[in-house]
C-alpha cells in the first residue's frame, strides 16, 4: 500500500498514485492554497541521497520551469518532504505518444499537427539554450484535445543562451559554468532507439540532437515502427551509426513524398547536413500541412464546381441600410435591422449570402451595385434605407442585378414599428420569389419565427447589444439594464436572457469576481436554455458561465457547437479565443484568426486574444499585419463612437507597438479620462505603459486595475504586453501563478 496516498505534503493533499518510473513516482494532488489539482513527482527514497540522481531530478525542475510554452509541461515549484525532494507540476489528462501510437501509423494530418507542436516547443527550448536529449514517445504527452506536452527534462543540457531573450531563462536554469554537464564526453545519455549518432558516440551534443530524436519519433508515427531497431542495444547503436532507414512510404504508401524528404533530412547522420534548427523543421511541416490542405480544398472545389457556379448566380450582398432619420441614436437600430435581414436570407438554402463582416466594409460608402458585384463577385446587391419617426417606420429596399445595374425587385414599406418583423420576413420571401426559389415548409417556418413578440423589447435588446461590446463596467451595466427591461416586456425573449448571461459573466470576470454577477449569469443562461435550447446564443451563454467558473474545456465545447450552427453568434469567437488563451492554446487561436475576425464583424474584442496569441508565439510578421488591420478598424469605429474608452485604450496599445508615442499617449489619456476607475480600461492602460517602457506607471496602473476588479491571473500572467513587469514582487502578489484551467 502506498503510504503517501491520502496524506498531506506541505499544502498538497495527495489523492492517488498516477505512475512510476526509474526517476520518480507521480501522484495526483490538490493544492489547498490555490484550489487546483497538480501532479507531484517524488524522487524515490533510495535515490534521494544519490548525488547524480538528485542533480538530474533538480535539473528537470529548473529546466522545465524556465520554459513557458503551451506544449511543455508547466513546473510550478521544487520542494522537499521529510528530506525527499518532489516537483509540483501541471496535472495532465490523456496519454503519452507511445500509448497513442500502439504500433499503428498515425493519419498524416494528425501526424503533422502533433509534429508541428513538438517542433514549436523545441524552438522555444532551444532559443533559451536548453537541449532535452531524451525525446521519445514516452516523454511526449497528448491530451484529449490533441495538445502536445513535452515531459521529463531530467537529461536536459543547458548551453549558453542562444538568440534574443535566451539569457535570463538560461541563467535561471544554470547552476554551473556555461555548458558544464553532469556527464563528460564519452558518456551516452538518452534512450537507445531515439539517440542521435553523436549521442551514440558519446560526443558533445547540441540542439540538432533533439531534431534527430524527433525525426525518429515522427518516423515511428508515420510507419508504426522505429527506424533503427534490433534485438540488442549494440545492434541498434550500429544501425544508428551506419545504416539508413527504409523510406517511410515503403511501409505506408499513403504518406506524401514530401514527408519522406523531411524525415530523411531530420535523420541525417551528419549533424551539419541535418535540420539546423527546430524552426526549419517546423516550417517544412507547416508548409506540407498547408499544401495538403490546399490540395484537398481544390479537389473539393473541383468536385463542387457545377453546384458552386449555380450558387454564385444566386449570391447576394446585403448592404447596411442608409439611416435617413439623421439621428445618431438610430444607428444601432439601422445596423440591427440590416443584420437581421442577412440572418433571415441565410435561412434560405438556395441563396448564397455574404456574411455581415464582408459587407461591413461598404457601410456608408458611396459605391454602386456594379462595383460591389465586381469586388465581391456577387450576382445581386440588396440596398435600402430606413427612416423612423415616432411609432412609424419607412423602409425602402431593392434587389439590384450587379451585371446590369437594374433592380430586379423593389418595394417601399410604410408600417407601424411593431410590424418590423413582418417586413423582414416579406423582404426575404420577395427576394426568393424574384429569384424563382421555392421555399420549403421548414424554410417558411424559419422565416416566420420571431425573436420576440415585442418590438419595444427588440429595440431595447439592439440598443443594449451595441453598448455591451465596449466591455467597460459602465457600458455593461447600461446594457444589462436594457436587456433586463427587454425581458420584463417579453419574459420569453431567449436572445435577451442570453445577452444578460454574457454581460454578467464579463462583469464577474473583469470587475472583482463578485458572486452576485456570476449568479445572475447562471440564472439568465439557464432561462435562455430553457426557452430555446438549440439557439446558438443560448449555447454561447452557457459557455460564458463555464468560462467564468474556469471550466475552459467545457466552454470551448459549447461555443464550438454554437459556431457550427451560426458562426456569427454574438461574442462566440471572442469567447472561444479567450478560453484558449487562458489555457495556452495559442496555436489554435492563430489558426482560426481570419475566420474569427470575419465572423465577429464590428465586435473588435476578438482582436485582443489573437494579438496576444501571436505575441506569445513570437509570430512578429503576422502580428504587425494584424495590428495594422486593427488600427484601421479602430480608427473607423472611433469616428462613429468617439466615447468608446475601451476602443481608445486598445488603439493606444497599437500606436505604442508602432512606435507612435505621441498618438499612444493621446489615446491613453482620453481613455482614462473617459473611464478613470474602470478595471478593463486601466488594465489595458497598464499594458500600453509597459509598451512605452514606463515600468513604474505600468505597475501603478495595473495595481489600480486590480483594485478596480481585474483579477484574472490566467490572462495577466500569459499576457506578453506585461512582460516588463514579470518578476516584480508586486506583479506576483497581484496575479499569483496558477495551473492552466484551474
Could you give the CA distance from residue 78 to residue 70 in angstroms, rounded to a whole number?
20
The answer to whether residues 366 and 429 belong to one domain is yes
The answer to whether residues 105 and 82 belong to one domain is no
Catalytic residue among 120, 134, 284, 714: 134
The answer to whether residues 222 and 113 belong to one domain is yes
Q: What is the distance of C-alpha 463 from the center of its chain?
A: 29
The answer to whether residues 563 and 619 belong to one domain is no
Cβ(381)–Cβ(370) below 8 Å: no
Which residues are 411's β-sheet partners?
397
Q: What is the pLDDT of residue 662?
A: 92
3-state percent helix, strand, coil for the chain, nearest multiple of 5:
55, 15, 30
Give 105-167 as a DSSP string: PPPHHHHHHHHHHHHHHHHHHHHTTEE-S---GGGEEEETT--EEE---TT-EE-S--STTHH
Residue 1 in domain: no
Angstrom CA distances, 152 to 59, 134, 193, stand at: 10, 8, 17
Residue 167 in domain: yes
In terms of Cα–Cα distance, which of 513, 516, 514, 576 is closest to 544?
Answer: 576
DSSP state of 72: B
Neighbours of 440 (CB within 10 A): 12
Cβ(387)–Cβ(374) below 8 Å: no
SS (H, E, C) 451-506: CCCCHHHHHHHHHHHHHHCCCCHHHHHHHHHHHHHHHHHCCCCHHHHHHHHHHHHH
The answer to whether residues 329 and 263 belong to one domain is no
The answer to whether residues 540 and 623 belong to one domain is no
Final residue of a structural domain among 66, 90, 114: 90
Could you give the CA distance from residue 265 to residue 281 in angstroms, rounded to a whole number?
9
Q: What is the pLDDT of residue 58?
A: 66
Q: Which three cell numbers stand for residue 571?
A: 461574442
Final residue of a structural domain among 555, 570, 585: 570
Could you give the CA distance from residue 597 to residue 602 in angstroms, rounded to a whole number?
9
The CATH number linked to 482 is 1.25.40.10
Q: What is the pLDDT of residue 167?
A: 36
Number of domains in the chain: 5
Positions of E strands within 373-471: 380-389, 392-401, 406-416
The answer to whether residues 587 and 703 belong to one domain is yes
The answer to whether residues 69 and 82 belong to one domain is yes
Could you give the CA distance from residue 363 to residue 119 in angstroms, rounded to a whole number?
44
Residue at grid coordinates 513604474: 696
Could you give the CA distance from residue 309 to residue 59 in angstroms, rounded to a whole number?
62
DSSP state of 199: H
Cβ(401)–Cβ(381) below 8 Å: no
10-residue mean pLDDT profile of the chain (742 residues): values are: 80 87 79 85 67 61 68 82 82 83 80 93 86 88 85 58 36 29 39 88 89 95 91 89 90 88 95 93 91 73 47 75 71 76 77 75 76 82 80 81 83 72 75 75 71 83 86 88 94 94 91 88 95 92 93 92 85 92 90 85 86 88 86 82 89 92 92 90 94 93 92 87 90 76 42
The CATH number linked to 317 is 3.40.50.10070
Q: What is the pLDDT of residue 156?
A: 47
Three-class SS of residue 436? coil
Cβ(386)–Cβ(337) below 8 Å: yes
Pairing of strands 84-90, 36-42: antiparallel
Cβ(153)–Cβ(59) below 8 Å: yes
Q: Which three cell numbers stand for residue 695?
A: 515600468
The answer to whether residues 433 and 395 belong to one domain is yes
Q: What is the pLDDT of residue 211?
A: 96
Residue 3 in domain: no
Cβ(460)–Cβ(483) below 8 Å: yes
The answer to whether residues 562 and 575 belong to one domain is no
Q: Which three cell numbers stand for residue 248?
A: 517511410
Which residues constitute the domain of residue 237? 96-299
C-beta contacts of 425-430 below 8 A and 24+ residues apart? 425/344, 427/341, 427/344, 427/382, 427/397, 428/341, 428/344, 428/345, 428/347, 428/348
Sheet of 140-143, strand order: 94-96, 140-143, 148-150
Q: What is the pLDDT of residue 179?
A: 31
Phi, psi of 12, rounded to the nearest 5 degrees = -115, 135
Residue 27 in domain: yes
The answer to whether residues 579 and 728 belong to one domain is yes
Cβ(118)–Cβ(221) below 8 Å: no
Residue 304 in domain: no
Sheet of 8-9, strand order: 8-9, 12-21, 24-31, 36-42, 84-90, 75-81
Q: What is the pLDDT of residue 164?
A: 35
Q: What is the pLDDT of residue 433?
A: 76
**Burial class of residue 657 (count of CB atoms within 10 Å of its CB; 0-12, 13-18, 19+):** buried
State the first-to-last Cα distance of the chain, in angstroms, to the nearest integer. 30
Neighbours of 576 (CB within 10 A): 27
The answer to whether residues 462 and 581 belong to one domain is no
Could you give the CA distance from residue 231 to residue 31 in angstroms, rounded to a whole number?
45
Q: What is the pLDDT of residue 318?
A: 85
Cβ(428)–Cβ(341) below 8 Å: yes
Q: Does the active-site annotation cover 134?
A: yes
Q: Which three cell numbers stand for residue 498?
A: 442570453
Positions of E strands within 179-321: 315-318
Residue 2 in domain: no
DSSP state of 415: E
Q: What is the pLDDT of residue 170?
A: 33
Q: Which three cell numbers stand for residue 63?
A: 529546466
Cβ(84)–Cβ(100) below 8 Å: no
Give 317-335 as a DSSP string: EEPPPEETT--GGGHHHHH
Element (H, E) at 647: helix 645-657
Final residue of a structural domain among 58, 90, 122: 90
DSSP state of 25: E
Amino acid at each position: 500500500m502506498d503510504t503517501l496516498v491520502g496524506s498531506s505534503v506541505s499544502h498538497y493533499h495527495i489523492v492517488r498514485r498516477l505512475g512510476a518510473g526509474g526517476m520518480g513516482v507521480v501522484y495526483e494532488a490538490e493544492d489547498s492554497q490555490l484550489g487546483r489539482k497538480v501532479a507531484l513527482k517524488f524522487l524515490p527514497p533510495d535515490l534521494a541521497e544519490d548525488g547524480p540522481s538528485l542533480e538530474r531530478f533538480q535539473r528537470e525542475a529548473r529546466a522545465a520551469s524556465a520554459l513557458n510554452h503551451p506544449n511543455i509541461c508547466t513546473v510550478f515549484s521544487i520542494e522537499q518532504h521529510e528530506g525527499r525532494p518532489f516537483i509540483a507540476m501541471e496535472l495532465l489528462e490523456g496519454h503519452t505518444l507511445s500509448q497513442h501510437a500502439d504500433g499503428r501509423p498515425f493519419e498524416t494530418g494528425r501526424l503533422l499537427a502533433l509534429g508541428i507542436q513538438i517542433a514549436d516547443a523545441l524552438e522555444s527550448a532551444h532559443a533559451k539554450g536548453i537541449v532535452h536529449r531524451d525525446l521519445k514517445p514516452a516523454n511526449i504527452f497528448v491530451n484529449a484535445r490533441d495538445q502536445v506536452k513535452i515531459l521529463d527534462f531530467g537529461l536536459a543540457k543547458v548551453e549558453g543562451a542562444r538568440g534574443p531573450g535566451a539569457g535570463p531563462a538560461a541563467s535561471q536554469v544554470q547552476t554551473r559554468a556555461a555548458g558544464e554537464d553532469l556527464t563528460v564526453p564519452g558518456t551516452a545519455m538518452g534512450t537507445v532507439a531515439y539517440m542521435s549518432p553523436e549521442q551514440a558516440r558519446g560526443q558533445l551534443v547540441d540542439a540538432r540532437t533533439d531534431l534527430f530524436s524527433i525525426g525518429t519519433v515522427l518516423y515511428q508515427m508515420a510507419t508504426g515502427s522505429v527506424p533503427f531497431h534490433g534485438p540488442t542495444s549494440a545492434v541498434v547503436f550500429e544501425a544508428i551509426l551506419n545504416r539508413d532507414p527504409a523510406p517511410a512510404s515503403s511501409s505506408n504508401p499513403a504518406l506524401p513524398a514530401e514527408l519522406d524528404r523531411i524525415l530523411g533530412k531530420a535523420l541525417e547522420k551528419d549533424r551539419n547536413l541535418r535540420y539546423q534548427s527546430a524552426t526549419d523543421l517546423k516550417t517544412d511541416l507547416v508548409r506540407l500541412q498547408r499544401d495538403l490542405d490546399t490540395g484537398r480544398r481544390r479537389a473539393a472545389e473541383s468536385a463542387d464546381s457545377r453546384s458552386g457556379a449555380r450558387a454564385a448566380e444566386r449570391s447576394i450582398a446585403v448592404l447596411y441600410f442608409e439611416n435617413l432619420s439623421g439621428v445618431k441614436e438610430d444607428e444601432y437600430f439601422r445596423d440591427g435591422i440590416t443584420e437581421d435581414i442577412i440572418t433571415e436570407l441565410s435561412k434560405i438554402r438556395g441563396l448564397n449570402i455574404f456574411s455581415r463582416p464582408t459587407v461591413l466594409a461598404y457601410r456608408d460608402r458611396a459605391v454602386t451595385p456594379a462595383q460591389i458585384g465586381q469586388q465581391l463577385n456577387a450576382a445581386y446587391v440588396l440596398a435600402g434605407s430606413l427612416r423612423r419617426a415616432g411609432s412609424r417606420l419607412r423602409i425602402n429596399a431593392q434587389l439590384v442585378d450587379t451585371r446590369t445595374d437594374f433592380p430586379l425587385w423593389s418595394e417601399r414599406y410604410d408600417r407601424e414599428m411593431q410590424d418590423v418583423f413582418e417586413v423582414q420576413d416579406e423582404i426575404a420571401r420577395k427576394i426568393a420569389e424574384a429569384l424563382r426559389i421555392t421555399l420549403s415548409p421548414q424554410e417558411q417556418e424559419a422565416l416566420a419565427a420571431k425573436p420576440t413578440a415585442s418590438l419595444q423589447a427588440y429595440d431595447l435588446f439592439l440598443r443594449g447589444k451595441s453598448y455591451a461590446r465596449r466591455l467597460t463596467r459602465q457600458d455593461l451595466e447600461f446594457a444589462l439594464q436594457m436587456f433586463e427591461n427587454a425581458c420584463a416586456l417579453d419574459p420569453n425573449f431567449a436572445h435577451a436572457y442570453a445577452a444578460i448571461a454574457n454581460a454578467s459573466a464579463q462583469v464577474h470576470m473583469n470587475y472583482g469576481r463578485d458572486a452576485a454577477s456570476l449568479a445572475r449569469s447562471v440564472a439568465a443562461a439557464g432561462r435562455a436554455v430553457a426557452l430555446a435550447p438549440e439557439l446558438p446564443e443560448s449555447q454561447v451563454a452557457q459557455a460564458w458561465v463555464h468560462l467564468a467558473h474556469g471550466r475552459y474545456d467545457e466552454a470551448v465545447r459549447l461555443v464550438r457547437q454554437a459556431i457550427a450552427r451560426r458562426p456569427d453568434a454574438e461574442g462566440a469567437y471572442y469567447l472561444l479565443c479567450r478560453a484558449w488563451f487562458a489555457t495556452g492554446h495559442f496555436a489554435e487561436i492563430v489558426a482560426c484568426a481570419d475566420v474569427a475576425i470575419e465572423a465577429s464583424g464590428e465586435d473588435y474584442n476578438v482582436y485582443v486574444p489573437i494579438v496576444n496569441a501571436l505575441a506569445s508565439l513570437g509570430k512578429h510578421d503576422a502580428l504587425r499585419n494584424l495590428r495594422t488591420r486593427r488600427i484601421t478598424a479602430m480608427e473607423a469605429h472611433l469616428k462613429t463612437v468617439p466615447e468608446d474608452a475601451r476602443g481608445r485604450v486598445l488603439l493606444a496599445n497599437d500606436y505604442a507597438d508602432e512606435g507612435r508615442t505621441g498618438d499612444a499617449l493621446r489615446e491613453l489619456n482620453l481613455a482614462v479620462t473617459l473611464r478613470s476607475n474602470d478595471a478593463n480600461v486601466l488594465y489595458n492602460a497598464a499594458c500600453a505603459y509597459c509598451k512605452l517602457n514606463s515600468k513604474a506607471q505600468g505597475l501603478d496602473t495595473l495595481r489600480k486595475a486590480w483594485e478596480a476588479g481585474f483579477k484574472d491571473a490566467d490572462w495577466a500572467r500569459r499576457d506578453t504586453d506585461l512582460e516588463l513587469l514579470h518578476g516584480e514582487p508586486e506583479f506576483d502578489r497581484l496575479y499569483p501563478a496558477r495551473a492552466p484551467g484551474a
